[in-house]
Structure 1
Amino acid sequence: MAPMAISNSDAANGSSSSPGSKSSVSGSQSAMSSGSTGLLLIRVVEAQGLKLRPEVANDKSMKKEDKLPYCVIEFDKQEIAVPAKDGELDGKSISWQHRAHFDVSFESEAIITLYQRASPTASSTGTPSKPAGSGGDVFLGAIRVKPTLKDQTLIDEWYTLQSAAGEDENAGKVHVQMVFKSSGPSKKAIGIDDFELLKVIGKGSFGKVMQVRKKDTGRIYAMKIIRKQHIVERSEVQHTLAERNVLSQLFNPFVVNLKWAFQTPEKLYFVLAFVNGGELFHHLQREGRFGEDRARFYTAELLMALECLHKFDVIYRDLKPENILLDYTGHIALCDFGLCKLNIGDKQKTNTFCGTPEYLAPELLIGNGYTKAVDWWTLGVLLYEMLTGLPPFYDENTNEMYKKILTAELVLTEEMGRESKDLLKQLLNRDANQRLGANGADEIKRHPFFAGIDWNKLYHKKYQPPYKPTVLSAADTSNFDEVFTSEQPTDSVVADSHLSKSVQQQFQGFTYQATNEHLGASVSQSVMGQSVLSSTLGGRAAPAIPRGKR
Structure 2
Amino acid sequence: MSWLRPKQKKPTKVDSAPEKGLSNNFISEFDKKASLKNHSAASIIPQNNPALLSKSNKDNPDYTTIQPSTVPDNEPNNIKTPSTVVQKPVQPDSAIPYALPPQSPKPPSQKHEQQSHSQPQPIPYLPAHPPSTERKVGVLTVKILRGRGVISENKAQFITSHYSNYKNDVHQRPFAVISFDKNEVIAAPVGGNLINPVWEYRANFDVSRKSNVVISFFQQIEQNPISQQRSQGYSNPNYKGANTQKKSFCTLYLGKTEFTPEFVDNTLVDNWFQIDSSGFIHVKYSFTRKEEEKLTIDQFDLLKVIGRGSFGKVFQVCKKDTKRIYAMKVLSKSKIVKRSEVAHTLAERDVLAMINHPFIVPLKFSFQTPEKLYLVLAFVNGGELFHHLHREGRFDQHLSRFYAAELLCALECLHSYDVIYRDLKPENILLDYSGHVALCDFGLCKLNMSDDRKTNTFCGTPEYLAPELLLGHGYTKTVDWWTFGILLYEMLTGLPPFYSENPNEMYRRVLEDPLLFPNDMGSRAKSLIKGLLIRDPRYRLGCNGASEIKAQHFFAEIDWDLLLGKKYEPPFRPMVSSSFDTSNFEEEFTAELPEDSYIPDSHLSETIQRQFDGFTYDGGGGAFSLSQSVSIYSGALKNNYEGL
TM value normalised by structure 1: 0.87
Q: 1:381 to 1:407 in 2, by over 3 A?
A: same
Using the alignment, how far apart are the partners of 2:642 and 2:308 within structure 1? 28
Q: 1:100 to 1:335 in 2, by over 3 A?
A: same
Cα contact 1:17–1:454 (8 A) shared by 2: no
1:356 paired to 2:356: no
1:177 paired to 2:177: no
**Match in the other structure for 1:158:** 272
Which amino acid in structure 1 is aligned with residue 229 of structure 2?
Answer: T
1:15-71 deviations in whole A, cap 9, x for unaligned? 535996899996784223xxx511111111111211355564354545534421111
**Match in the other structure for 2:61:** none
1:87-114 deviations in whole A, cap 9, x for unaligned? 223x2x1100111111112111100000
**Match in the other structure for 1:7:** 97
Q: 1:412 to 1:514 in 2, by over 3 A?
A: same
Q: 1:368 to 1:439 in 2, by over 3 A?
A: same
Q: 1:27 to 1:78 in 2, by over 3 A?
A: farther
More off after superposition, 467-476 vs 135-144: 135-144
More off after superposition, 361-370 vs 23-32: 23-32
551, 559, 582: which one aligns with 1:477: 582
Cα contact 2:95–2:398 (8 A) shared by 1: no
Using the alignment, how far apart are the partners of 1:390 and 1:72 within structure 2? 34
**Match in the other structure for 1:109:** 212
Using the alignment, how far apart are the partners of 2:485 and 2:622 within structure 1? 34
457, 474, 480: which one aligns with 1:375: 480
Q: Secondary structure at the match of 1:47?
A: strand
| Residue 270 (structure 1) shift | 0.4
Cα contact 1:28–1:108 (8 A) shared by 2: no
**Match in the other structure for 2:338:** 233
Using the alignment, how far apart are the partners of 1:21 and 1:68 within structure 2? 50
**Match in the other structure for 1:95:** 198
Q: Secondary structure at the match of 2:621?
A: coil
**Match in the other structure for 1:388:** 493
Q: Secondary structure at the match of 2:240?
A: coil
Using the alignment, how far apart are the partners of 1:15 and 1:141 within structure 2? 27
Using the alignment, how far apart are the partners of 1:400 and 1:189 within structure 2? 51
Structure 2 unmatched ranges of 5 or more: 1-93, 110-125, 245-249, 624-638
| Residue 155 (structure 1) shift | 2.2
State the Cα RMSD in Å.
2.5
**Match in the other structure for 2:263:** 149
Using the alignment, how far apart are the partners of 1:160 and 1:225 within structure 2? 41
| Residue 125 (structure 1) shift | 2.9
Cα contact 1:222–1:271 (8 A) shared by 2: yes
Which amino acid in structure 2 is aligned with residue 131 of structure 1?
Answer: K
Cα contact 1:154–1:178 (8 A) shared by 2: yes
Structure 1 unmatched ranges of 5 or more: 164-170, 519-524, 531-550
**Match in the other structure for 1:120:** 223
| Residue 133 (structure 1) shift | 8.3
Using the alignment, how far apart are the partners of 1:177 and 1:269 within structure 2? 33
1:439 paired to 2:544: yes
1:131 paired to 2:240: yes
Which amino acid in structure 2 is aligned with residue 38 of structure 1?
Answer: G
**Match in the other structure for 2:103:** 16
**Match in the other structure for 1:30:** 133
More off after superposition, 419-428 vs 232-241: 232-241
**Match in the other structure for 1:544:** none
Q: Secondary structure at the match of 2:482?
A: helix
1:408-436 deviations in whole A, cap 9, x for unaligned? 11111222112111101101111111111
Q: 1:479 to 1:428 in 2, by over 3 A?
A: same
TM value normalised by structure 2: 0.74
132, 136, 139: which one aligns with 1:39: 139
**Match in the other structure for 2:511:** 406
More off after superposition, 134-143 vs 446-455: 134-143
**Match in the other structure for 1:522:** none
Using the alignment, how far apart are the partners of 1:226 and 1:449 within structure 2? 40
**Match in the other structure for 1:489:** 594
Larger Rg: 2
Which amino acid in structure 1 is aligned with residue 97 of structure 2?
Answer: S
Using the alignment, how far apart are the partners of 1:386 and 1:27 within structure 2? 32
| Residue 517 (structure 1) shift | 6.2
Which amino acid in structure 2 is aligned with residue 151 of structure 1?
Answer: D
Using the alignment, how far apart are the partners of 1:211 and 1:355 within structure 2? 26
425, 439, 454: which one aligns with 1:334: 439
Which amino acid in structure 2 is aligned with residue 159 of structure 1?
Answer: F
Among the aligned pairs, what percent are the same residue? 52
Which amino acid in structure 2 is aligned with residue 413 of structure 1?
Answer: P
**Match in the other structure for 1:535:** none
Using the alignment, how far apart are the partners of 1:37 and 1:428 within structure 2? 44
Q: 1:25 to 1:527 in 2, by over 3 A?
A: closer
Using the alignment, how far apart are the partners of 1:528 and 1:238 within structure 2? 21
Cα contact 1:313–1:344 (8 A) shared by 2: yes
